[in-house]
C-alpha cells in the first residue's frame, strides 16, 4: 500500500477511508481561513477576497463545514447501516466534487461566493444521493434524519447562493446555514455520544464504582424537538417580512430544548471524563449561543446576536468538528483514542476562543478578537500535528479501510 509522494495515486493511503482526505481538507481550511482573517484584521493584509466581514464565516462554513460533514457521513453511514464501505474511487470523486466550492471564496472574481454556495449545494445533493439508499433500506430507518439534516443544509446554501447572486442581504441565509450545521452537529453528536458515554460508564462499572443501572441513551423525542425548533428559527429568519420578536422567542425555545436534551447526559461522575465532558460542552455552547441570539433579537441588540452566532459557530460546531476528528479520526484508522494532556488543553482553547469571541462581540475588544483567533489556530494546529501523519500513512495494523481496531488490538497512541 503506497504512501509515497503522489497522493493522486489510487493506492495511496489517503484514499483508504473517506475521513482522511476530508478531515485533512477541513483542517487546512480551519487554519488557513483564520490565519488570513487575522492578518487582514491585524496588519491590514491587502487581500481583497478576505476584506468583507462575512468572508471568514462563509469560507469556514463552505469549506471546513462541508468537508467535515462529508467525511463524517461517508465514513459513518456504512457503519450505522451495517453496509459495505464506499469504494475508494467514489471517495476521490467526492473530494474532487467538494474542492471547487471550498476554493472559490478565495478567488477575487465577481460572484465567486455565490458560485461557491451553489457548488457546495450541488455537492451535498450528490452526497445525499450516495447515502440515501443505505439510510432508506435499513430496517426501521433509524438514521434517516441525517438525510433531513443534509436537505436543510442544501436549502440554506441554495438561498444563500441566490441572495449573493442578486446582491441581496446574505446575513439571514448565513444564519440559516449556521443553524443547519448546528442541527447536523446534534444529529452526529447524539450518535457518537452513545458510544463515548457508555464507554465511560463501563469503565467505572469495571472499577467497581457506582453507576446508573440503565445505559445512556440519546432519546429521539427530545432531539427532534430541538431540531424542529432550530429549523423553525432558521426558516423564520429568511422570510421576506422579518419577525424578530417571534424569532427571538423561538431562539430561546431552542436554547431550552437544547438544555432539556442535555439532561440525558447527567449520568453521574462518568460525565466528568474528558471525552463525554468535551461533547457535553458542545451542547452547552449551542444552548447558550441560541439564548444570546434570542436575547439580541428581543431587544438587546446586534452585538448580542453576533455573540450568540459566534458561540454556536466556535463552541458548538467548531468544537464538534474537533471532537469528531479526535474520536472518529483515530478509531477509523486503527489507532486508540489519545489520552495525552494536549487534547483537553486544546478543548479548553476552543472554549476560550468561543468565550473571547463573545466578549469581542459585546464590547468590541480587539484584544479579545485576537485571543479568539490565536486560540483557534493553536487548537487546530495541535490537531494537525498529531493527526495528519495518521491520516496520510497506511494503518499500522495492516488493515485497509475504515474498520475500527479489534478490542485489545488498537495501534499506537
Helical axes 171-206 vs 220-237, angle rounded to 10°:
160
Task: Give 86-103 pLDDT, tens digit per residue.
Answer: 998 999 999 999 999 999
Q: Please, which residues bridge with residue 2 across strands?
A: 12
pLDDT per position as a tens digit, 190-209: 989 888 998 888 888 888 88
Q: Which contacts (CB < 8 Å, 24+ apart) does range 132-138 have? A: 134/77, 134/78, 134/81, 134/83, 135/77, 135/81, 137/81, 138/80, 138/81, 138/82
Helical pair 274-295 and 171-206, crossing angle rounded to 10 deg: 150
Beta-carbon neighbour count of residue 13 at 10 Å?
A: 21
pLDDT value at 373 more than 50:
yes
Confidence band for 131, pLDDT divided at 50, 70 and 90: very high
| 52 touches 164 (CB < 8 A) | no
pLDDT for the residue numbered 39: 84
The topology under which CATH files domain 13-206+217-392 is: Cytochrome C Oxidase; Chain A (1.20.210)
Average pLDDT over residues 221-228: 93
pLDDT digits (tens, 9 = 90+) for 4-58: 556 666 678 888 899 999 999 999 999 999 999 888 877 666 555 656 778 889 9
Checking if the pLDDT of 62 tops 70, the result is yes
Long-range pairs of 127-135 with CB within 8 A, sequence gap ≥ 24? 127/69, 127/70, 127/73, 127/74, 127/94, 128/154, 130/74, 130/86, 130/90, 130/94, 131/73, 131/74, 131/77, 134/77, 134/78, 134/81, 134/83, 135/77, 135/81
Enter the pTM of the model.
Answer: 0.93
- Region 375-399: what's the mean pLDDT? 92
Structural domain boundaries in the chain: 13-206+217-392
Q: Which residue do the cell numbers 480551519 mark?
A: 30
Percentage of the chain surpassing pLDDT 70?
93
Amino acid at each position: 500500500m503506497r504512501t509515497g509522494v503522489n497522493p493522486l495515486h489510487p493506492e495511496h493511503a489517503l484514499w483508504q477511508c473517506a475521513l482522511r482526505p476530508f478531515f485533512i481538507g477541513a483542517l487546512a481550511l480551519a487554519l488557513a481561513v483564520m490565519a488570513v482573517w487575522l492578518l487582514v484584521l491585524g496588519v491590514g493584509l491587502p487581500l481583497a477576497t478576505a476584506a468583507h466581514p462575512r468572508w471568514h464565516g462563509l469560507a469556514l462554513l463552505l469549506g471546513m463545514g462541508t468537508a467535515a460533514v462529508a467525511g463524517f457521513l461517508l465514513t459513518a453511514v456504512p457503519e450505522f447501516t451495517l453496509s459495505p464501505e464506499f469504494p475508494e474511487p467514489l471517495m476521490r470523486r467526492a473530494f474532487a466534487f467538494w474542492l471547487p466550492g471550498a476554493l472559490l471564496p478565495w478567488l477575487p472574481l465577481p460572484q465567486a461566493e455565490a458560485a461557491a454556495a451553489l457548488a457546495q449545494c450541488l455537492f451535498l445533493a450528490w452526497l445525499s444521493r450516495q447515502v440515501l439508499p443505505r439510510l432508506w433500506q435499513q430496517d426501521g430507518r433509524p438514521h434517516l434524519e441525517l438525510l433531513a439534516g443534509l436537505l436543510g443544509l442544501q436549502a440554506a446554501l441554495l438561498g444563500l447562493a441566490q441572495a449573493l447572486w442578486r446582491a441581496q442581504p446574505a446575513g439571514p441565509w448565513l444564519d440559516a446555514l449556521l443553524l443547519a450545521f448546528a442541527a447536523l452537529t446534534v444529529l452526529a453528536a447524539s450518535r457518537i455520544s452513545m458510544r463515548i458515554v457508555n464507554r465511560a460508564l463501563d469503565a467505572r462499572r469495571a472499577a467497581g464504582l457506582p453507576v446508573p443501572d440503565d445505559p445512556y441513551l440519546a432519546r429521539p423525542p427530545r432531539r427532534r424537538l430541538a431540531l424542529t425548533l432550530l429549523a423553525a428559527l432558521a426558516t423564520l429568519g429568511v422570510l421576506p417580512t422579518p419577525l424578530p420578536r417571534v424569532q427571538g422567542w423561538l431562539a430561546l425555545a431552542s436554547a431550552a430544548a437544547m438544555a432539556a436534551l442535555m439532561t440525558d447526559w447527567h449520568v453521574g461522575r462518568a460525565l466528568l471524563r474528558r471525552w463525554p465532558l468535551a461533547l457535553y460542552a458542545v451542547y452547552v455552547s449551542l444552548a447558550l449561543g441560541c439564548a444570546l441570539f434570542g436575547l439580541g433579537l428581543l431587544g438587546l441588540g446586534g452585538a448580542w446576536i453576533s455573540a450568540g452566532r459566534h458561540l454556536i459557530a466556535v463552541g458548538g460546531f467548531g468544537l464538534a468538528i474537533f471532537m469528531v476528528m479526535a474520536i472518529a479520526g483515530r478509531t477509523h484508522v486503527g489507532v486508540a483514542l489519545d489520552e495525552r494532556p494536549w487534547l483537553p488543553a486544546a478543548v479548553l482553547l476552543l472554549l476560550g476562543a468561543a468565550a473571547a469571541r463573545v466578549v469581542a462581540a459585546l464590547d468590541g475588544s480587539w484584544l479579545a478578537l485576537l485571543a479568539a483567533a490565536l486560540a483557534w489556530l493553536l487548537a487546530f494546529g495541535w490537531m494537525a500535528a498529531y493527526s495528519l501523519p495518521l491520516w496520510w500513512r497506511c494503518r499500522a495494523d495492516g488493515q485497509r479501510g475504515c474498520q475500527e481496531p479489534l478490542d485489545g488490538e488498537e495501534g499506537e497512541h
